[in-house]
């Protein structure tokens, strides 16, 4: 699948078309991961932020540039997402939260969402039933959002 993607992208010079192809590739690579639009996510953040657990799966440098309010930076290459989720969900008030994973293109977030879904559905999971919904947030690029909607919900970097 990666080879097909690289073959398609190799002939593209328009950034919007390349982003569209990358998004399509992510959806094809992770068909079982549900995606939430930027507009829907903004509505959730504005209306029910306490019902969300937002996981930023980008690098620390990307996170420092900007991130969503309340986002927790995690490394998707480790067991940290599963450990964090088990810890968060063991607290009574967090058991019914929706989990939002996001990154630049959607690959790391979708991979994390898929791994968390598998971990939550395992026999030895301590997750309450029904398990929380896990989503990949669409609409983020190069560390900043690709739409005006998304830029309104980002948190600017803090001075150190």
For the stretch 19-55, pLDDT in tens is 777 788 888 889 999 999 888 999 999 999 988 989 9
Domain boundaries, the chain: 36-151
Least confident of 38-47, 107-116, 126-135, 150-159: 150-159
For the stretch 68-89, pLDDT in tens is 988 989 887 776 666 776 776 6
- The long-range contacts involving 67-73, CB below 8 angstroms and separated by at least 24 positions, are 67/154, 67/155, 68/41, 68/100, 68/102, 68/153, 68/154, 68/155, 69/45, 69/153, 69/155, 71/102, 71/155
Res 101 pLDDT > 90: yes
For the stretch 135-149, pLDDT in tens is 999 876 543 344 444
Least confident of 38-52, 97-111, 120-134: 120-134
More reliable by pLDDT, 4 or 145: 4
What is the model's pLDDT at position 160?
A: 43
In the CATH scheme, what is the homologous superfamily, with its name and number, of domain 36-151?
A: Rhodanese-like domain (3.40.250.10)
The structure tokens listed for 14 are 């328009």
């Amino acid at each position: 699948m990666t080879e097909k993607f690289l073959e398609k992208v190799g002939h593209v010079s328009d950034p919007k078309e390349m982003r569209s192809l990358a998004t399509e590739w992510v959806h094809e690579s992770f068909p079982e991961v549900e995606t939430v639009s930027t507009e829907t996510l903004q509505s959730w953040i504005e209306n029910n932020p306490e019902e969300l657990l937002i996981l930023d799966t980008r690098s620390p440098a990307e996170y420092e540039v900007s991130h969503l309010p309340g986002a927790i930076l995690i490394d998707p290459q480790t067991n940290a997402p599963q450990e964090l989720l088990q810890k968060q969900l063991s607290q009574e008030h967090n058991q019914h939260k929706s989990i939002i994973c996001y990154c630049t293109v959607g690959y790391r977030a979708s991979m994390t969402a898929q791994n968390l879904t598998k971990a939550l559905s395992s026999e030895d999971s301590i997750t309450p039933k029904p398990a929380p919904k896990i989503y990949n947030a669409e609409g983020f690029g190069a560390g900043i959002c690709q739409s005006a909607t998304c830029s309104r919900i980002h948190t600017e970097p803090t001075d150190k």
